[in-house]
Amino acid sequence: MLDQLLNRAENTGDLSLEEIEQLLNLEDQSDIDSLFACAYRVKTRYVGRIAWFRGIIEFSNICSKDCYYCGIRRSNSKTQRFTIPEADIIESAVWAWKAEYGSVVLQSGERSDPAYIDMVERLIKEIKERTNGELGLTISLGEQSEETYQRWFDAGAHRYLLRIETSNPELYAKLHPADHSFENRVECLRRLRKVGYQTGTGVMIGLPMQTTRHLAEDLLFFKRMDIDMIGMGPYIFHSDTPLIGYRAEWEIPAKKLLNLGLKMIALARLLMRDINIAATTALQALEHDGREQGLLAGANVIMPNATDTQYREAYQLYENKPCTDENASMCRGCLQRRIEKIGEQIGFGQWGDSPHFAGRVKSSGL
């Protein structure tokens, strides 16, 4: 039964909602391993055994939003707020370029005031200039107007990550204050595509009140939105957030949560063969080699932290975030060893765009 199902998925990329849910619910470890092996074959065929590096620079934890799960939400007065000086952010990006990371991701809490929008525009331009236009630039800066997205695109950013967090509007409403809009977030994903970004989204896995049906729907949402990249990872409770009250009832044991995260990666690979999928750092928070396991389940992107070590401690979206003590070059060496150990290559010095995006642009005649 399982073999037949996996065979079909491998050959056609088609799975129904019920079938996806059934695969998410697999419990027998050898069945789960068959799912991962199948996704790995699809990965090998469509995107190769290459891990692309994106150095992530988390440059500010000031946030105007108040998501109930997030450690840097506006109302968390225990977080020490920081914004890295522009010159230091640029230095980190230049370091990543010299270390042959093909690209970096700039991420921060969400702000949309004019001073911030100008600063980001300056940063993008300066980073492009200082790296001879060679460094790929992804930004992950939340919900913005089309005009802002366009300005940042024109300045030189070409990929954007905006997680939908959950594709279920009712669950979304339970995880956010009333003035956070699910519809606007979906609209932002459309805007980003319209402006011309390679667009990435994702969800948190293991949220309170989330079912495997919700997760199966998330995967079909990604497919329907025809997205180019996915970054999704386990949800990890943070003590200084409102959702902590759900911990006793909803926390999933680490091993099971890791497996669920890996199954989501494998299923995303089966359904959307040629996209980029990240093995996120939160996987590593659950098991020390969680990211390598992500690569073996079908992911092809790793996001080593390239933030100055002195700022890492304060950017705690969740607790026990790995690598907050290591500096950027330690992360590079450590990851390189880990990846080579599982027999993969690192795509040093290249942007590593998803073949899916290339196909999408070609077919639309752009």
CA distance linking residue 186 with residue 167, whole number of Å: 9
Q: Are 179 and 140 in contact (CB under 8 A)?
A: no
Beta bridge partners of 57: 106
Residue whose structure tokens are 């995303």? 268
Q: Does 203 bind ligand FES (CB under 6 A)?
A: no
Q: How far is the CB of 197 from ligand FES (least distance, A)?
A: 19
Interface segment toward ligand 5AD; rule CB under 6 A; list 41-49, 179-187, 189-197, 235-243: 235-243
Please give the helix or strand (H or E) that residue 234 lies within, else none.
Answer: strand 229-234
CB of 64 to ligand 5AD, least distance (A): 14
Q: Which does 109 bind (CB under 5 to 8 A by kind): ligand FES, ligand 5AD, none?
A: ligand FES
Window 98-117: residues binding ligand 5AD (CB under 6 A): none
204-205 and 345-346 strand pairing: unpaired
Mask 182-221, x = binds ligand 5AD (CB under 6 A)?
----------------------x-----------------
Residue 311, phi then psi, degrees to nearest 5: -100, -10
Residue 73 partner contact from ligand 5AD, ligand FES, none using kind-dependent CB cut-offs of 5 to 8 Å: ligand FES
Distance separating alpha carbons of residues 141 and 163, to the nearest angstrom: 10
Q: What Å distances lie between residue 36 and 13, 265, 332, CA to CA?
A: 15, 9, 26
* The one among 70, 119, 137, 195 contacting ligand 5AD by CB under 6 A: 70
282 lies in the site for ligand 5AD, by CB under 6 A: yes
The answer to whether the CB of 172 falls within 8 A of the CB of 217 is: no
Q: Which is nearer to ligand FES, 73 or 291 (CB)?
A: 73
Rounded to 5, what percent of the chain is helix, strand, coil? Answer: 50, 15, 40
Binding site for ligand 5AD (CB under 6 A): 69-70, 163, 165, 204, 233, 235-236, 238, 282, 317-318
Binding site for ligand FES (CB under 6 A): 63, 65-67, 70, 72-73, 109-110, 142
